[in-house]
């Protein structure tokens, strides 16, 4: 709990971190600090950031900042919190049985779940895949309904 | 009896004269002087306990009186910092200090002798006291206070002993088997007590004097261990130069009491520390670190003594620096270990999985296994020198490879899977033809120079045999003679 997570508010910072994380999975959480689910996820991320530090970097992006809205629109973030994975500046997708493969919506139930997900992404990325399947059983994956143009 | 009483009275007269002499700082008359022995401790055979003087001679010696007088003078004069230019050994004050050191050791021995004397005399009155009060000076004080009294409730021992011991003494005295002493013996005993106390006071004076001068004589050493201990160390070593020549392990043991009485267990005896034990640094370290602190102190004080013996640093800065170093080291030892950080997980798939068996693994290991050629080269025949690559024993040895009588003209290279793989790769690189090659061509080209020897590799496979076959002892031979006994 003594680790301060890097919080990004500017577009330039986000660009730098995506570009500069080499051979490590980059975990970007898009959310705001006031939301309880976000807080739960943040807590998990903070606790496990040291353990995965050898193959992953974790950062928080505040979606309330105006510069970040570009990314919010690009990644189509509508649910808070959303986590997006990168590897060597490639966007990694994960099929977890939900509708949206490009991001992970919601928090994790356990710290180990998060570590498993990151590990799966890492293995897939090292093999050269751009999309991996989720190692978690479906009970532990948060479910949500995707709205499409308010339908 | 009369003559005996007379001789006793004469002794008493002499004693009082002598004490007056010591107190009034006059020179001793030649008539009162007995044998001018060096004041060393009396021989054990000299057990003439009737006469205190035959046992304790120190106070009458010229040497003792001279030194005491000089010490008195110097103490009254105050500190004297005039002679900085002189070499240390020529300084008369230094000589006095050396003498004082020796004298203090002698006084200690003398006190022990007097203690024995008092103890023997007082045994008739109160035998258990000697086992309750060990320290000689305390014993002398207690004996003086009790005198010939049988009832200890009338005697006030406050201030002389710790209260617990006073209680034990009182209880033991009420059940003691002793009887009151006759008058003469009591007087002698009280005299001996007085003498012991005087000697103790003299010793204190001498030590004070040395202490006060210690800062001038050995400033660095006294900064580290304190002047009292420095004085004692110097005294026991026999001078500053002698102390400087000692290795640090000896300095650590200077003044260590050897209390291992025969038959007593050494399990409880404290570790071997000498005067260093009395320094404040040692006293203030926690008991678990005391051994290390003692060694550290001994080594640094030896360094300081060496600096002092050559007058390298009269201001004492060196000593202060060493003291600071010691303090820092001891503090560092007491630091708690750094907090344990949780270890991050290893990178996934970074360590290849260890396969412990299976057909595939075996096949893989065959590629790197030792070939028959290598096996032959590793072995040697008994009594037959091997050939080597550079000839004459230099270079790599060939072992049984190519030896006469091995039945082979050439060693055939066995099927080396690794070599096969490498050759295939090599062939592909070099001879990778477009594919238009007929099936009748081969890479062997028969010329007149190059002969071909086809040998049956199976025929000589037995030469290597299994690892269990002996290459030295014959498999078929038997014992030459078996006798029945």
Q: Is the pLDDT of residue B47 over 50?
A: no
Q: Are B22 and B65 in contact (CB under 8 A)?
A: yes
The set of residues, in sequence order, having a beta carbon less than 8 Å from that of B146 and lying 6+ positions away, is B126, B152, B155
Q: Is the pLDDT of residue A1 over 50?
A: no
Q: How many CB atoms lie within 10 A of CB A2?
A: 5
B61 prior amide bond cis, ω within 30? no
Q: Give the span between the Cα atoms of B139 and B118, in whole angstroms.
A: 9
ipTM attached to this prediction: 0.82
Contact A54 B346 (CB under 8 A): yes
Q: Give the span between the Cα atoms of A116 and A141, in whole angstroms.
A: 12
Q: Is the pLDDT of residue B238 over 70?
A: yes
Structure confidence at residue B231 as a pLDDT band (50, 70, 90): confident
Residue with more model confidence, B6 or A94: A94
For residue B25, how many C-alpha atoms fall within 13 Å in the half-sphere facing its CB?
8
Please indicate, yes or no, whether residues B73 and B195 belong to a single structural domain of this protein.
Answer: yes
Please indicate, yes or no, whether residues B209 and B224 belong to a single structural domain of this protein.
Answer: no
Domain count of chain B? 2
Residue with more model confidence, B153 or B50: B153
Residue A150 counted as domain residue: no
Q: Are B457 and B407 in contact (CB under 8 A)?
A: no
- Give the single-character DSSP code of B397: B
Please indicate, yes or no, whether residues B276 and B201 belong to a single structural domain of this protein.
Answer: no
The backbone torsions φ and ψ at residue A26, rounded to the nearest 5 degrees and listed phi first, read: -110, 125
Q: Which of A25, A53, A55, A126 should be substituted to probe chain B, the one whose Cβ sees the most B Cβ atoms within 10 Å? A: A55
User: In 3D, which of B312, B271, B304 has the Cα closest to residue B289?
Assistant: B271
Structure confidence at residue B44 as a pLDDT band (50, 70, 90): very low
Residue B360 counted as domain residue: no
Please indicate, yes or no, whether residues B205 and B300 belong to a single structural domain of this protein.
Answer: no
Provide the token pair at A90.
Answer: 């490639």
The set of residues, in sequence order, having a beta carbon less than 8 Å from that of B433 and lying 6+ positions away, is none
Please indicate, yes or no, whether residues B131 and B209 belong to a single structural domain of this protein.
Answer: yes
Write the residue in B342, B346, B349 that is nearest to A126 by C-beta: B349
**What 3-state class would DSSP assign to B203?**
helix
Provide the token pair at A80.
Answer: 């808070």
Average pLDDT for residues B98-119, to the nearest whole number?
83
The residue of chain A with its CA nearest to that of B341 is: A50
User: In 3D, which of B58, B97, B53, B51 has the Cα closest to residue B74?
Assistant: B97
pLDDT at B38: 34
* pLDDT, averaged across chain B: 77
The set of residues, in sequence order, having a beta carbon less than 8 Å from that of B379 and lying 6+ positions away, is B399, B400, B471
User: In 3D, which of A60, A34, A30, A24 has the Cα closest to residue A45?
Assistant: A60
pLDDT at B448: 54
Mean pLDDT highest for which of B185-189, B233-237, B351-355, B469-473? B185-189
Q: Is the pLDDT of residue B22 over 50?
A: no
Residue-wise pLDDT for B299-318, tens only, equals 999 999 999 998 888 888 99
Please indicate, yes or no, whether residues B243 and B207 belong to a single structural domain of this protein.
Answer: no
Within 27-66 of A, beta carbons closer than 8 Å to B belong to 50-55
Q: Is the pLDDT of residue B232 over 80?
A: yes
Please indicate, yes or no, whether residues B176 and B242 belong to a single structural domain of this protein.
Answer: no
Report the gap between the CA of B342 and the closest CA in chain A (Å): 8
Task: Please indicate if any CB of chain B lies within 8 Å of the CB of A3.
Answer: no
Q: Which of A50, A128, A135 should be substituted to probe chain B, the one whose Cβ sees the most B Cβ atoms within 10 Å? A: A50
Task: List CB contacts (< 8 A) between A48 and chain B.
Answer: none
Task: List CB contacts (< 8 A) between A50 and chain B.
Answer: 341-342, 344
Residue B428 counted as domain residue: no
Q: Are A120 and A94 in contact (CB under 8 A)?
A: yes
Contact A122 B348 (CB under 8 A): yes
Residue A2 counted as domain residue: no
Residue A147 counted as domain residue: no
Cα distances from A80 to residues A36, B89, B313, B315, in angstroms, run 10, 89, 74, 74
Q: Give the span between the Cα atoms of B40 and B105, in whole angstroms.
A: 10
Report the gap between the CA of B350 and the closest CA in chain A (Å): 10
The residue of chain B with its CA nearest to that of A120 is: B348
Q: Is the pLDDT of residue A28 over 90?
A: yes
Residue-wise pLDDT for B313-346, tens only, equals 888 899 999 999 999 999 999 999 888 888 899 9
Query: Residue B126 sits in a domain of what CATH number?
Result: 1.10.287.4070
Write the residue in A51, A53, A123 that is nearest to B348 by C-beta: A123
Q: Give the span between the Cα atoms of B290 and B269, in whole angstroms.
A: 15
Contact A119 B348 (CB under 8 A): yes
Average pLDDT for residues A49-70, to the nearest whole number?
92
Q: Are B247 and B341 in contact (CB under 8 A)?
A: no
Tracing tokens 């050396």 back to the chain, one arrives at: B98
Q: Which of A54, A115, A118, A128 should be substituted to probe chain B, the one whose Cβ sees the most B Cβ atoms within 10 Å? A: A54
Report the gap between the CA of A69 and the closest CA in chain B (Å): 34
Structure confidence at residue B400 as a pLDDT band (50, 70, 90): confident
Please indicate, yes or no, whether residues B168 and B243 belong to a single structural domain of this protein.
Answer: no
Contact B347 A52 (CB under 8 A): no
Residue B362 counted as domain residue: no
Residue B44 counted as domain residue: no
Residue A149 counted as domain residue: no
Average pLDDT for residues B213-232, to the nearest whole number?
87
Q: Which of B340, B341, B342, B348 should be substituted to probe chain A, the one whose Cβ sees the most A Cβ atoms within 10 Å? A: B348
Residue B62 counted as domain residue: yes
Residue with more model confidence, A36 or B452: A36
Contact B344 A54 (CB under 8 A): yes
Relative orientation angle of helices B136-146 and B92-122, to the nearest 10 degrees:
50
Residue-wise pLDDT for A72-83, tens only, equals 999 988 888 899
Please indicate, yes or no, whether residues B230 and B296 belong to a single structural domain of this protein.
Answer: yes
Report the gap between the CA of A114 and the closest CA in chain B (Å): 13
Task: Please indicate if any CB of chain B lies within 8 Å of the CB of A126.
Answer: yes
Domain count of chain A? 1
Work out the end-to-end distance of chain A between its first and last CA atoms, rounded to an integer number of angstroms: 41
For residue B175, how many C-alpha atoms fall within 13 Å in the half-sphere facing its CB?
4
Structure confidence at residue B31 as a pLDDT band (50, 70, 90): very low
Query: Residue B276 sits in a domain of what CATH number?
Result: 1.10.246.90
pLDDT at B54: 66
The residue of chain A with its CA nearest to that of B343 is: A51
Query: Residue A72 sits in a domain of what CATH number?
Result: 3.40.30.10
Contact A50 B344 (CB under 8 A): yes
pLDDT at B446: 55
Q: Which helix (H) or strand (E) holds B122?
A: helix B92-122
Task: Please indicate if any CB of chain B lies within 8 Å of the CB of A149.
Answer: no
Residue A83 counted as domain residue: yes
**What 3-state class would DSSP assign to B8?**
helix
Provide the token pair at A142.
Answer: 């948060």
Distance from the Cα of residue B131 to its chain's centroid: 32
Domain span at residue B144? 49-79+86-216
Length in residues, chain B = 485
Residue-wise pLDDT for B436-470, tens only, equals 556 666 655 555 555 555 656 565 555 555 556 66
Contact B348 A53 (CB under 8 A): no
Provide the token pair at A112.
Answer: 């180990």
Structure confidence at residue B350 as a pLDDT band (50, 70, 90): confident
Domain span at residue A28? 7-140
Residue-wise pLDDT for B263-273, tens only, equals 556 666 667 78
Q: Give the span between the Cα atoms of B8 and B451, in whole angstroms.
A: 127
Residue-wise pLDDT for B69-101, tens only, equals 888 887 777 655 544 544 555 567 777 877 787
pTM listed for this prediction: 0.48
């Amino acid at each position: 709990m003594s680790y301060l997570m890097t919080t990004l508010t500017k577009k330039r910072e986000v660009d730098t971190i995506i570009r500069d994380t080499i051979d490590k999975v980059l975990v970007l959480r898009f959310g705001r600090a006031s939301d309880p689910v976000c807080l739960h996820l943040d807590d998990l991320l903070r606790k496990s950031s040291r353990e995965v530090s050898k193959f992953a970097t974790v950062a928080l992006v505040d979606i309330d900042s105006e510069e970040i809205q570009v990314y919010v629109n690009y990644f189509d973030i509508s649910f808070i919190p959303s986590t997006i994975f990168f590897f060597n500046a490639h966007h990694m997708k994960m099929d977890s049985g939900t509708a949206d493969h490009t991001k992970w919506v919601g928090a994790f139930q356990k710290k180990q779940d998060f570590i498993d997900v990151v590990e799966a992404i890492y293995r897939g990325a090292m093999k050269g895949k751009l999309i991996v399947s989720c190692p978690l059983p479906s009970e532990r994956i948060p479910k949500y309904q995707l709205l499409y143009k308010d339908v | 009896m009369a003559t005996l009483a007379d001789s006793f009275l004469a002794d008493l007269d002499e004693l009082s004269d002598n004490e007056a002499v010591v107190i009034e700082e006059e020179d001793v008359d030649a008539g009162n002087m007995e044998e001018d022995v060096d004041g060393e401790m009396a021989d054990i055979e000299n057990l003439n306990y009737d006469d205190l003087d035959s046992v304790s001679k120190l106070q009458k010696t010229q040497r003792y009186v001279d030194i005491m007088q000089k010490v008195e003078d110097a103490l009254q004069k105050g500190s004297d910092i005039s002679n900085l230019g002189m070499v240390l050994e020529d300084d008369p004050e230094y000589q006095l200090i050396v003498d004082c050191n020796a004298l203090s050791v002698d006084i200690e021995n003398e006190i022990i002798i007097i203690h024995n004397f008092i103890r023997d005399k007082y045994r008739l009155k109160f035998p258990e006291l000697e086992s309750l009060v060990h320290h000689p000076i305390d014993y002398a004080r207690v004996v003086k206070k009790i005198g010939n009294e049988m009832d200890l409730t009338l005697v006030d021992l406050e201030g002389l002993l710790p209260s617990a011991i006073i209680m034990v003494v009182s209880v033991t005295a009420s059940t003691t088997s002793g009887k009151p002493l006759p008058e003469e013996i009591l007087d002698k005993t009280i005299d001996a007590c007085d003498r012991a106390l005087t000697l103790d006071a003299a010793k204190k004076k001498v030590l004070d004097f040395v202490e006060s001068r210690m800062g001038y004589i050995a400033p660095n050493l006294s900064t580290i261990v304190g002047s009292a201990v420095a004085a004692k160390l110097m005294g026991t070593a026999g001078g500053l130069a002698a102390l400087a020549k000692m290795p640090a392990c000896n300095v650590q043991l200077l003044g260590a009491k050897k209390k291992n009485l025969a038959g007593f267990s050494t399990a409880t005896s404290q570790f071997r520390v000498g005067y260093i034990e009395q320094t404040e640094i040692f006293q203030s370290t926690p008991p678990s670190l005391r051994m290390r602190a003692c060694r550290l102190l001994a080594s640094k004080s030896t360094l300081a003594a060496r600096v002092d013996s050559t007058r390298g640093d009269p201001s004492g800065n060196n000593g202060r620096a060493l003291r600071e170093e010691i303090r820092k080291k001891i503090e560092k030892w007491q630091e708690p270990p750094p907090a344990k950080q949780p270890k991050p997980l290893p990178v996934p798939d970074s360590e290849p999985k260890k396969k412990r068996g299976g057909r595939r693994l075996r096949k893989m290991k065959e590629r790197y296994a030792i070939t028959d050629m290598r096996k032959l080269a590793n072995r040697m025949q008994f009594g037959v020198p091997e050939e080597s690559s550079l000839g004459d024993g230099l270079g790599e040895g060939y072992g049984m490879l190519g030896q006469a009588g091995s039945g082979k003209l050439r060693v055939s290279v066995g099927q080396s899977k690794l070599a096969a793989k490498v050759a295939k790769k090599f062939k592909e690189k070099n001879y990778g033809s477009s594919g238009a090659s007929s099936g009748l061509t081969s890479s062997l080209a028969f010329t007149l120079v190059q002969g071909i020897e086809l040998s049956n590799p199976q025929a000589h496979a037995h030469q290597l045999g299994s690892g269990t076959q002996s290459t030295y002892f014959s498999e078929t031979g038997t014992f030459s003679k078996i006798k029945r006994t």
